[in-house]
Chains A and B, each alone.
Chain A
Amino acid sequence: MTTATTSLDSARARTTAVLRRRGRRDLLKHLGLGVFVLLMLYPLIWMIVSSLKPDHLILTEPGLIPSEVTFDNFVAGWNALNRPFTVFFLNSLLVTVGSIIGNLFSCSLTAYALARLEFRMRGVYLAITLLSVMLPMHVLVIPQYIFFSQLDLVNTYYPLLIPKFLATDAFFIYLMVQFIRTIPRDLDRAAWIDGSGPFRTFWYVVLPLMRPALVTTTIFTFIWTWNDFFVPLIYLTSPKMFTVPVALNSMVDSETQGGVGMLFAMSLVSLLPVLIFFAIAQKQLIRGIATTGLK
């Protein structure tokens, strides 16, 4: 904006006209996006309002304006499971952070090999990777459980973490492969010619360039692990080991739907870390390649 200021009147007039036009366009954009955001967020707003209502009013009084406001749901929910909810938060945090490290480490190594290195049957490897995403987890979960239970690892976090360190989240491998493939090959070819081996090239050239993919992997691993229900449910039997979703599940009675208010309240509370994380992580995403020094 300041650079556009010149001493020439005509130029200034032109600039302000452009700015005004852009301002008007932005306003329209904001208006459109704003309406859209409201539409998208209505359910969430309703959930927030409901969490402030007494249990019996949630299903019977549908409107957004509560006739009675109470924080009981938060208080009751926090202590509903014999121990403060912080226990489940810490458990979830441990599993989530471990999964992120695991995925970043194992998937980036695998993806680089699959996307850039020449070796026999590379296509077959890629196909196997994709294939393992295609079979629904419900038929895999029992053989996997038998395996981990034979190792006596049930009711520990190992069954949730070991797979992440062994590149089994094919989604991310494939994501990274696609990202690496958008990087012009000349860049790492240059490094090769300079005498860097595959490991140096990976570490100094490719990894910095695939930052958006790494950030995306981090975001998704965080969110999916934080929200995962089925796998922790099966492996973690002792209540003090529960992650947040397993704890939330044991609040509601699927037969009678009692405890809805508590469920909403605690769902919202458990959404907070994810939201904060996303808000921070997406800034990394925006910075993207511009700051990673692509010359």
Chain B
Amino acid sequence: MSKLHRQGGAAHVFLIPWWLGLVLVTAVPLIASLYLAFTDYNILSSPKFNGLENFERMFQDDYFWAAVRVTAVYVVVSIPLQLGFALLLALILDRGLRGLAFYRSAFYLPSLLGTSVAVAILWRQIFGDNGLVDRALSIFGLELGSWLQNPSLSLSTLIVLNVWTFGSPMVIFLAGLRQIPEELYEAVKVDGAGIVRQFTAVTIPLLTPIIFFNLILQTIGAFQTFTQAHVVSGGTGGPANSTLFYTLYIYQQGFTNFDMGYASALAWVLMAAIGLVTAVHFVLSRYWVFYGDD
């Protein structure tokens, strides 16, 4: 009991910056936006309380549903692809190989570019009419024109963009692999374990907290994909709303349409959805994530 008490005291000293940040920077805007979700607020005049009107409006809003569909497809498809890629390359690059530093940097480069304005022009170069992909496919007699302007293909170009920027999760995986004590490998080697056994008995179990971390944070990030969609579609979410990501729609409502009340309501619905998905992940994590401190 006395030890717990002492730890509690120490904990609150450690948490001073966090507390200050919560009160000053995070909580007030968070509460403000929650309040705004129940108001009609056009930024220029003061907010007017309007009950659940914003939430009711969503059900009849075709754009809202389009945004939900686009975002859901994106999260479900791009996250496994991106993480799978990142893990695979992290494993390959973790083993001794000449020129590792070069590869690591090379693979990380796209992530550095990923959100710059230049990507819009770049992507058009690759997926546009007469772009790289179009020309390659026309060799096989496929004339698809611009992928970016084809409502059934445009979202896939954004998924490719996300997979292409797998650098961040890869770096985190690499750091995680480095964190695994060499002794543990030695221990199973003494028991005569081969590469595969080392992998399944040491690498994967010890990496699960990091896999879990990447899964949670990349999922949250994917739900909130904004910059890439904004850059590639020029902020429209076109063609035919096929790249109208949820946060892009929030942005349009809040910053272009000045409907900050509705935008806040949309944001809280998104937050609830992310919260739910994250909670499910946490529940499931009990079955597969292994912590060294258990």
B7:A182 contact, CB within 8 angstroms = no
Question: Interface-forming stretch among B58-66, B73-81, B146-154, B208-216?
Answer: B208-216
B29 contacts partner chain A, Cβ-Cβ < 8 Å: yes
B286 contacts partner chain A, Cβ-Cβ < 8 Å: no
Residues of chain A lying within 8 A (CB to CB) of residue B110? 40-41, 43-44
Residues of chain B lying within 8 A (CB to CB) of residue A162? 24-25
| Residues 134-159 (chain A) with a chain B CB within 8 angstroms | 134-136, 138-140, 142-144, 147
Residues of chain B lying within 8 A (CB to CB) of residue A128? 22
Which residue of B is nearest A199, CB measured?
B10
Question: Interface-forming stretch among B49-57, B120-128, B137-145, B192-200?
Answer: B120-128
A29:B92 contact, CB within 8 angstroms = yes
| Residues 102-131 (chain B) with a chain A CB within 8 angstroms | 103-113, 115-118, 121-122, 125-126, 130-131
A97 contacts partner chain B, Cβ-Cβ < 8 Å: no
Lowest 4 CB-CB distances: which A-B pairs, in order?
A166-B21, A288-B178, A143-B29, A212-B175
* Cα-based distance from A133 to B26 in the complex (angstroms): 10
Min C-beta distance of A284 to chain B, whole Å: 10
A263 contacts partner chain B, Cβ-Cβ < 8 Å: yes
Residues of chain B lying within 8 A (CB to CB) of residue A195? none
A219 contacts partner chain B, Cβ-Cβ < 8 Å: yes
Residues of chain B lying within 8 A (CB to CB) of residue A289? 178-182
A275:B209 contact, CB within 8 angstroms = no
Which residue of A is nearest B217, CB measured?
A171
B250:A43 contact, CB within 8 angstroms = no
| Residues 1-45 (chain B) with a chain A CB within 8 angstroms | 4, 6-8, 10-18, 20-22, 24-26, 28-30, 32-33, 36, 43
Which residue of B is nearest A210, CB measured?
B179
A106:B105 contact, CB within 8 angstroms = no
Residues of chain B lying within 8 A (CB to CB) of residue A44? 109-110, 113
Complex partner residue of A285 from B171, B251, B291, CB under 8 angstroms:
B171
Residues of chain B lying within 8 A (CB to CB) of residue A110? 14-15, 17-18
A134:B278 contact, CB within 8 angstroms = yes
Given the interface contacts A143-B29, A182-B292, A227-B115, does A134 sit within 8 Å of B275 by beta carbon? yes
A207 contacts partner chain B, Cβ-Cβ < 8 Å: no
Q: Mark A72-99, 1 if CB is under 8 A from B, else 0.
A: 0000000000000000000000000000
Residues of chain B lying within 8 A (CB to CB) of residue A115? 293
B17:A143 contact, CB within 8 angstroms = no
* Cα-based distance from A271 to B223 in the complex (angstroms): 27
A37:B103 contact, CB within 8 angstroms = yes
Min C-beta distance of B165 to chain A, whole Å: 10
* Cα-based distance from A179 to B179 in the complex (angstroms): 8
B109:A40 contact, CB within 8 angstroms = yes
Complex partner residue of B4 from A30, A118, A254, CB under 8 angstroms:
A118
| Residues 201-224 (chain A) with a chain B CB within 8 angstroms | 202, 212-213, 215-216, 219-220, 223
* Cα-based distance from A125 to B164 in the complex (angstroms): 34
A-B contact pairs, 7 of them (CB 8 A): A119-B7, A128-B22, A140-B30, A184-B292, A185-B293, A215-B175, A248-B117
* Cα-based distance from A144 to B92 in the complex (angstroms): 43
Residues of chain B lying within 8 A (CB to CB) of residue A178? 209-210, 212-213
B243 contacts partner chain A, Cβ-Cβ < 8 Å: no
Complex partner residue of A119 from B12, B220, B227, B254, CB under 8 angstroms:
B12
Min C-beta distance of B107 to chain A, whole Å: 6
A274 contacts partner chain B, Cβ-Cβ < 8 Å: yes
Min C-beta distance of A184 to chain B, whole Å: 5
Total interface residues on B, CB under 8 Å, equals 98
Chain B binding surface, main DSSP class: helix
20 additional contacts (CB under 8 A) given A110-B18, A275-B105: A26-B97, A30-B98, A105-B17, A109-B15, A118-B4, A131-B271, A138-B251, A138-B263, A139-B33, A166-B20, A182-B210, A184-B181, A199-B10, A213-B179, A223-B111, A248-B117, A263-B117, A275-B109, A288-B179, A294-B183
Residues of chain A lying within 8 A (CB to CB) of residue B113? 43-44, 47, 267, 271
A70 contacts partner chain B, Cβ-Cβ < 8 Å: no
Residues of chain B lying within 8 A (CB to CB) of residue A179? 175-176, 179, 209-210
Residues of chain A lying within 8 A (CB to CB) of residue B14? 109-110, 112-113, 117, 198, 202
Residues of chain B lying within 8 A (CB to CB) of residue A143? 28-29, 32-33
B101 contacts partner chain A, Cβ-Cβ < 8 Å: yes
B125:A271 contact, CB within 8 angstroms = no
A138:B254 contact, CB within 8 angstroms = yes
* Cα-based distance from A7 to B181 in the complex (angstroms): 34
Min C-beta distance of B210 to chain A, whole Å: 6
Which residue of A is nearest B178, CB measured?
A288
Residues of chain B lying within 8 A (CB to CB) of residue A33? 92, 103
Complex partner residue of B11 from A119, A215, A220, CB under 8 angstroms:
A119
A136:B101 contact, CB within 8 angstroms = no
* Cα-based distance from A286 to B174 in the complex (angstroms): 8
B157 contacts partner chain A, Cβ-Cβ < 8 Å: no
A19 contacts partner chain B, Cβ-Cβ < 8 Å: no
Which residue of A is nearest B128, CB measured?
A62
Residues of chain B lying within 8 A (CB to CB) of residue A183? 179, 292-293
Complex partner residue of A168 from B26, B112, B260, CB under 8 angstroms:
B26
